[in-house]
Structure formats: C-alpha cells, structure tokens
Amino acid sequence: MAIEPRRHRLHPLLVSRHLTGEASDTDGAARRHAEAARFAARDQAESTLESIGDAVLSTDLSGRVTYLNLAAEDMTGWSWAEAAGQPLAEVLHIVTRGTRDRARDPLSLAVALGKTVHLTADCILVRRDGRETEIEHSASPIRNRDGHVTGAVMVFRDVGAALETARQMAHEAQHDGLTGLPNRQWLASRLTEAIGLAERRRKPLGVVFLDLDGFKSLNDTLGHAAGDQLLQAVAARLTDALRRSDRVSRYGGDEFVVVLPEIEHATHAATVGKKLLDAIAGSYRIDSRQVTVAASLGLSLYPEHGHDAATLIAKADAAMYAAKRAGPGNFRLATENQNRATN
C-alpha cells in the first residue's frame, strides 16, 4: 500500500480512535498504550529519515513510489506528494556516465535478487529539471514480519564533490603545477603502457629527451618568474607541434620527454625530433623582452635501444647530452656506447 504524501497524512492513531471509539477500562487502556508506543516508534523512525543527509526512496512490489524523505525530494526534484504512486521510472532517472544509457532499476533488482545491491560508481542521477548529480547508492528489499518482500528501499547520496576532489588530487599528483603537462610519475606509467602496446602491435616506439640550451643563464639573468614564463611558452609550443597520439611531459627543470607511439621507422622519429627543435627555436616575448632559446634533443627507440621505460629514457638522455656537446639546437639518435658525461 502506498504511503500517503507527507502533507496529507492523518496520524494512524487518530484514525483508529475515530473508527473504533475509546475501549473500556483495562483492555482498552493497554491497547491504547501499545498503539501509542507503536506509532511513537514509527514517528521517531520517520523523523530520523527526514533528518538524515542521505536520500531515501521506497517503492511497493509494483514499482510505484511510496516514500521520499526530504533529501530525496531535493535530489530528484520531486515532492513526496507528487511522487507518491508514480512509477519509479518517472521519479528516479539514472544514467551511466560514459554511454548515457539508462541504468537498470536498482530497486526491482533488489526485489528480484532478495538482497542488497549497489549501484556502479559511474552512475548519474538526472534531476527532474535536467540537472545532473553523481551518486552512489544501495537498494534493499523490504520484508514484513513474516519475511515476505513487500517492496524495496534505496539510500543514495551526492558524491559529485568528493569525486571531483579525488579526480583533482589524482590530476595534481601526475601533472606539473607550472606547465600543466604530465609529470615524471605519469611518464613512467604511460611509457610502460605504450611499450606494451608497441610490443603487441609489433611497431617501434620513440622516446625524445629534450633540454633547453642556456636556460640556467637566462633564468639567472631574467629572474625565476621570467624563467617560469619561458617554460610555459615552450610547453605550449611542444604540445602544438605533436600528433594527437604523442605525449609530452615535463621531466624536471628545463627537461621534457616526449613519447612517440607507433612510429613507422626511425627516420619518422627523427623527423618529429627535428620538428620539435624547430618549434622551440626562435624568440619569445617574456616580460616585454624578446628572448631567444634553442634546445638539444636525444632520441631512443623501442625495441632497438631498450625494452623498458627506464632504459629508453636513460638512452634518450645520453643521446641528448651527445647532441648538447655538438652545440645548441642539435639532435642525436641513441647508440650502444653513449653515456651521460658532458666532458
């Protein structure tokens, strides 16, 4: 039986007294006392449901809404008076984040399985006015004193702010605060994944290690604030010069590492390397000054120069130092006997 909407409900104890009248003496007093205690307990339970921050919604076995607490009214956009007796699909609209497909009704699933079920983490509640909220929830069957299922109840909460905070923290942990590029931590996992993909597809992979020439001198002359602006400008030029599949990260200081997945040949990687050097070379306007900068670049290849991320980065780093010894704006491919000594 559907519960009457909050503002129209008549207290059951008053209904009982109106229909039956006052019972006499001892039996009547005991019955009235028991009824009063029972309804007091129900009122306390309802007050609790109205007070908690989580949304609570229930249905009967036919899937029609029997109850919403205040939090559920706020999250769905439906008042209890409007929702009571409505099919659940009209009141509770949940879709999956990626596909936007409508999620399976969790309450009917709880009834069918006869146990508590949990919503997947990628579900979004679409409010009556179209606003969306990321939620988590659990739904359970409601049983009477004989153990028979009479309906279902769902408890859900808004987790959008918490998830956004978690995503922001994860982003900050893997991205450089100055340039916004992925950092060294991100590079290690991304490059390992790219190597695995290259191995499965039997295609080469390139790792570019790039270092700005004379950056320390510029930083000392112009100041750290100007140096930071220059690094941001270089990061933007590198990003613009790459393919969509390529990934650039800030390795540290004025060093950048670029992952070139699925290249066709070493000459292709060399072409990309030359393109990056050309993109960086030239003048930058920093604090009303024109600043000219160049870079040195080293390139290693999978599987020719290594089979793991650390080896490929080290080989590209050594090749970059070989390029730097040849003068600003140079490029070198890794070799077996290179080391990082600058002589």
Among 309, 302, 334, smallest CA distance to 202 is for: 302
CB 322 within 8 A of CB 332: yes
Q: Looking at residue 305, what DSSP letter applies?
A: S
Coil, helix or strand at residue 68: strand
The single residue listed with the structure tokens 């996992």 is: 189
The set of residues, in sequence order, having a beta carbon less than 8 Å from that of 335 and lying 6+ positions away, is 319
- Quote the tokens at residue 76: 């769905």
Strand locations in the chain, DSSP E?
Answer: 55-60, 65-68, 94-96, 117-118, 123-126, 132-143, 149-158, 205-213, 247-252, 255-260, 282-286, 289-302, 331-333
- Reply yes or no on whether 317 is catalytic: no
Given the residues 254, 287, 308, 317, the one annotated as active site: 254
Alpha-carbon distances, residue 206 vs 43, 174, 326 (angstroms): 69, 21, 22
Coil, helix or strand at residue 9: coil
Instruction: List phi, psi (to 5°) of 192.
Output: -60, -45
CB 13 within 8 A of CB 22: no
H or E stretch covering 218: helix 215-222
Catalytically active residues, by annotation: 254
